[in-house]
Amino acid sequence: NMSNLLKRKSKKETHQLKLADPKAINLLYQLMNDVHMLLTHFGVQYWVDGGSILGIIRHKGIIPWDDDIDIGVLKKDIKKFLY
């Protein structure tokens, strides 16, 4: 099982995660705000997906080592803001 696999890993196999620069995290929050304003303006429904939703649930914000925002939109809505 998975817990046994994790216990067998040696210290050499442990990977250290590099935290994102706090300035980059602040820029991601600003980017998300800007994207929200644009999509809302054009009447596009969207959702936060992937690591971004995981961060919201697990970290109450952006995952400290994440460097992007995952957003989904319906294919039919893409033309509302691209053309």
Place of tokens 């995660």: 17
pLDDT value of residue 49: 96
- Looking at residue 3, the DSSP 8-state letter turns out to be H
Residue 5 reports pLDDT greater than 90 = no
List pLDDT tens digits, range 16-73.
Answer: 778 889 999 999 999 999 999 999 999 999 999 999 999 999 999 999 888 899 999 9
What is the residue-wise DSSP string for 19-75? PPPHHHHHHHHHHHHHHHHHHHHTT--EEE-HHHHHHHHHHSSS-TT-----EEE-H
pLDDT value of residue 15: 67
